[in-house]
Amino acid sequence: MAIPHRIIRRNELGCPFEYVQMDSLAVMKIIKHCYEERSNIEVPRGGLLGLVIENRLEITNTFAFPIAKADEAVDEDYTTNMMLHMKKINQDYLHVGWYQSCDFGAFVTVEFVVAQLGYQDSIEESIVVIYDPKKTARGFLSLKAFRLTPQALKMLTENEHNITPEFVKSLHLSFDKMFLEVPIMIRNSPLASALCCQIVEMKPVDKGTQFLDLGTSSVMESRLKLLLEKVDDIHQEAYKTNKWVMQVSKQQQEKSKYIHQRNLENAARQAKGEPVLPDEDLNKIFRPIPPPSRLPQMLSSSQVEFSCQQINSFCSQALGKLFISEALQHSKAEQ
Partner 1 sequence: MALTVKVHPTVLFQIVNAYERRNLDRTAILGTLLGSVDKNSVEVTNCFVVPHSISGADGTVCIEMHLADVMYKLNKQVHPSEIIVGWWITGYEVSSIAVPINDYYARQCQNPIQLLVDTTMKTGKMNIKAFVQVDIGVPEGSQGAMFSPVSVEITQYPPEAVAMKTLQRARSIQGLVEPLAELPQVIESTVDLDEMLTVVLNYVDDVIADRVTPDNTVGRSLLKLVQAIPKMTSADMEGMMNSNIKDLLMSMYLSELTRVQIHLNEKLAMTSPNISNLQ
Which contiguous run of DSSP H or E holds residue 101?
Answer: strand 95-101
Tally of CA atoms within 13 A in the half-sphere of 221 that contains its CB: 4
Residue 39 binds to partner 1 (criterion: CB under 8 A): no
Residue 268 binds to partner 1 (criterion: CB under 8 A): no
The residue within the footprint of partner 1, chosen from 42, 114, 139, 181 (CB under 8 A), is 139
Residue 328 binds to partner 1 (criterion: CB under 8 A): yes
Q: CB 121 → partner 1: shortest distance, Å?
A: 26
Instruction: Report the residue number, 137 or 276, with the smaller CB distance to partner 1.
Output: 137
Instruction: Report the residue number, 99 or 120, with the smaller CB distance to partner 1.
Output: 99
Q: CB 194 → partner 1: shortest distance, Å?
A: 5
The residue within the footprint of partner 1, chosen from 9, 32, 243, 257 (CB under 8 A), is 32
Amino acid at 220: M
Of 10-18, 106-114, 121-129, 305-313, which segment contacts partner 1 by CB under 8 A? 305-313
The residue within the footprint of partner 1, chosen from 2, 8, 202, 271 (CB under 8 A), is 202
Inter-residue contact 3 to 39 (CB < 8 Å):
no
Which contiguous run of DSSP H or E holds residue 23?
Answer: strand 19-23
Q: Which three-class secondary structure state does DSSP give residue 25?
A: helix
Distance in angstroms (rounded) separating the CA atoms of residues 30 and 19: 19
Amino acid at 252: Q
Could you tell me the CA-to-CA distances from 270 to 179, 258, 259, 317 in Å, in that order?
62, 18, 16, 81
Q: CB 266 → partner 1: shortest distance, Å?
A: 23
Residue 259 binds to partner 1 (criterion: CB under 8 A): no
Residue 329 binds to partner 1 (criterion: CB under 8 A): yes
Instruction: Report the residue number, 3 or 333, with the smaller CB distance to partner 1.
Output: 333
Q: CB 272 → partner 1: shortest distance, Å?
A: 33
Distance in angstroms (rounded) separating the CA atoms of residues 230 and 299: 9
Inter-residue contact 107 to 130 (CB < 8 Å):
yes
The values of phi and psi at residue 222, to 5°, are -65, -40
Residue 314 binds to partner 1 (criterion: CB under 8 A): yes
Q: Which of residues 205-224 bind partner 1 (CB under 8 A)?
A: 205, 207-212, 216-217, 220, 224
Q: Which of residues 141-160 bind partner 1 (CB under 8 A)?
A: 141-143
The residue within the footprint of partner 1, chosen from 182, 227, 295, 299 (CB under 8 A), is 227
Q: Which three-class secondary structure state does DSSP give residue 147?
A: strand
Straight-line distance from the first to the last Cα atom of the chain, in angstroms, rounded to the nearest whole number: 45
Residue 236 binds to partner 1 (criterion: CB under 8 A): no
Q: Which of residues 109-138 bind partner 1 (CB under 8 A)?
A: 133, 136-137
Q: Which of residues 5-24 bind partner 1 (CB under 8 A)?
A: 21, 23-24
Question: With the CA atoms of 81, 87, 90 and 91 taken in that order, what torsion angle do they form, in degrees rounded to the nearest 10?
Answer: 70
Inter-residue contact 276 to 270 (CB < 8 Å):
yes
Q: Which of residues 51-70 bind partner 1 (CB under 8 A)?
A: 60-61, 63-66
DSSP state of 293: P
Instruction: Report the residue number, 68 or 268, with the smaller CB distance to partner 1.
Output: 68
Amino acid at 211: F
